[in-house]
Structure 1
Amino acid sequence: MTLRKTVRSRRLGKLLRQLREDAQLSQDDLVALVNTGKPPRRLTTTHLSRVETGLARLIPDHLTRIVAATNASQDRAAELEELRRRADERGWWQEYRAYVPEPVEMLAELGEDATGIRSYDIAFVQGLLQTRAYAEAVVGAARAHVLPVDVDRLVELRMRRQQRLRAPDFGRLVAVMTEGVIRTVVGGPEVMREQLRHLIAITEALPVSVHVLPFSAGALPGPDSLVIFTFSQEGDGEAVFVDSDTASRIYEDRDRVTQCTYTFSAALAQALSARDSLALINQVMKEL
């Protein structure tokens, strides 16, 4: 059965592909092993290919046979079964499917599973740190992409994503934003003052650190805003959401993730310390 790709279905497919390749099996080889002994339902190479790209479901019997054919450990088998089961679960973010493209839906799902987040923003305050009024101004300004009737739903999605920061199993959010972000008056002076006050307050209340990349740092280390997600399972790797003027994309391949990590690290290295960043935010707030 075909499904809209989700973070969990992609992670399941990635791990299954790694298992198969580690066992030095082609897709045809693995399908032949799974179908040995006349299983209740035969697996096809086409279906396995779609599973490995996160676009099809996997029944429990097929997963059990794949685990046996690839000699996967008990721990890895348990992790795969958890991902298989959860790939079919309906997450709260799916309520907004009609209003957002697939990468934005996956952004919400990534945040829900992540234990650590690093962000680099060049245009607006990181969505996880926005006030409702600021978010309304940002979403409402995207008139070319967002219908006026959808603004409230999209802002609601953004506010619900922020709840992850308060979860007991969440580690830390490290947010780097350019000085232009905190000086651009989004929504008017009062909305912006409230947003800057919120940035200061949230670093005291939650596991969040904010770093401002000052104008004096020179050329930006990267042209796009991005969010890097880290997960608790060692085999999960990391994932990156990249947002640009033309498209939003999710990357999980090592080369892309490494490139984005370098961009974030360069931005953080040039940014002010957390203490100096809050001092600058407070200064800008007073200037409004």
Structure 2
Amino acid sequence: MSSTEAGRLLGTNQTTISNIEASRLGVSADRLRALARNYRCADDALITALIDMAAERRRGWWEEYRETLHAGLLDLAELEHHAVALRTAYVAHMPGLLQTIDHAREIFRQAVPPLSPPDVEHHVSHRVKRQAVLYRDRPTPYTAIVHEAALRMRFGGPETARGQLQHILEMSEHAHIKVLVIPFEAGSFPGSGQSILYAVGPVPQLDTVQFDTEHGSELLDAPAQLEGYRVVLDRMETVALTERKSRDLIQTIIRTLKGE
């Protein structure tokens, strides 16, 4: 269906449809139902989930960054905001949702091409605001699989590294946060070269996988792709340490840093 055809169906024009598609305008429940009928979608749970998402009339906080950050980062923040659960896997970096301000700042200072100091701060503040999903009244359940390499990576020197490790250790004590460490001795494992975010949607059809590439952020939602990434994450969890042993390893690394 073209934007012109959609406009006729909803009793509006092509410009309005384009603004809805670009997230500049919201869409009403009645219009969503009209589109669902046109596409012969009879899945009430899916339609209800979409209506609930559209009912949030206020602009998402990420919109304030539309003129300063890449659209993929805005999509990531919105994806995390609407997810009912999050699963992530990281090999070379700490999970963004568990990074300290100092750690995040050092990462963005190493960006290629280089970021200006104001742009570094825009990226840092965006990353910190994403973390609100872990602190809201009904925090999002979060599982972070982290390789030992990421824990030992240095950004900003020993003090910044200690602060980051102490933070992830403290966050792992929250009931809704699970941190699982893959130790060096685990050897090879699926997905070993890629950071993965699996956002669980209100209904299975809204599940989405996000990962970074050299050219930006990529989103996947095809059922076969989602199943493949669920298998990868499940297998990564099987080679990871338990939550308790993961915390023990983090504490060991902190003690090593304190000795420097």
TM-score (norm 1): 0.75
Larger Rg: 1 or 2? 1
> How many aligned positions are there?
250
Q: What SS class does the counterpart of residue 241 from structure 1 fall into?
A: strand
The answer to whether the 8 A contact 2:76-2:210 is kept is: yes
Q: Of 109, 114, 125, which aligns to 2:78?
A: 109
Question: Which amino acid counterpart does residue 213 of structure 1 have in structure 2?
Answer: I
Task: Identify which of 103, 113, 121 aligns with 1:144.
Answer: 113
Name the CA distance, whole Å, in 2 between partners of 1:58 and 1:199.
Answer: 37
Q: Residues 40 and 117 (structure 1 numbering): CA distance in 2 closer, same or farther, change over 3 Å? A: closer
Residue 213 of structure 1 corresponds to which residue in structure 2? 182
- Partner Cα distance (1:75, 1:220) in 2: 36
Could you tell me how far 1:89 is from its partner in structure 2? Answer: 4.4
Match of 2:242 among 264, 273, 279: 273
Unaligned runs of 5+ in 1: 1-26
Deviations 1:167-210 (A, max 9, x none): 23334111011110011121100100111111111112452111
1:144 positional shift: 1.4
Aligned partners of 2:27 and 2:171: how far apart in 1? 43
SS in 2 for 1:250: strand
Shift of 1:99: 2.6
Cα displacement string for residues 206-242 of structure 1 (whole angstroms, at most 9, x for unaligned residues): 52111111111112421110111112x2254311110
| Aligned mates of 2:74, 2:90 — CA distance in 1 | 19
Kept in 1: contact 2:98–2:168 (CA 8 A)? yes
The answer to whether the 8 A contact 1:228-1:240 is kept is yes
Deviations, residues 60-92 of structure 1 (Å, cap 9, x unaligned): 565454455548577665544444454x74210
Alignment of 1:71-150 (within 5 A): 72=42, 78-86=48-56, 89-144=58-113, 146-150=115-119
Distance 2:180 2:166 in 1: 15
Worse-superposed segment, 54-63 or 120-129:
54-63
- CA 1:217–1:89: 2 relative to 1, 3 Å: same
Pairs within 5 Å for 1:40-79: 40-41=11-12, 54-55=21-22, 60=28, 62-63=31-32, 65-66=34-35, 70=40, 72=42, 78-79=48-49
Superposed displacement of residue 98, structure 1: 2.3
Contact residue 91 and residue 149 of structure 2 kept, 8 A: yes
The percent of aligned pairs where both chains have the same amino acid is 26
Query: What whole-Å deviation, never above 9, does each CA across 1:234-279 have from its counterpart, x for those lacking one?
Result: 2543111102344321112222222222221221111111111110
Shift of 1:118: 0.6
1:184 to 153, 158, 163: 153
Corresponding residue of 1:230: 200
Amino acid of the residue matched to residue 157 of structure 2? G
Q: 1:106 to 1:217 in 2, by over 3 A?
A: same
Whether 2:221 is the aligned partner of 1:252: answer: yes
Q: CA RMSD of the aligned region, Å?
A: 3.1
Contact 1:212/1:277 (<8 A) preserved:
yes
Which one-letter code corresponds to 1:286 in the other structure? R
Contact 2:46 2:203 in 1 (8 A): no
**Quick one: distance in 2 between partners of 1:134 and 1:205?**
21
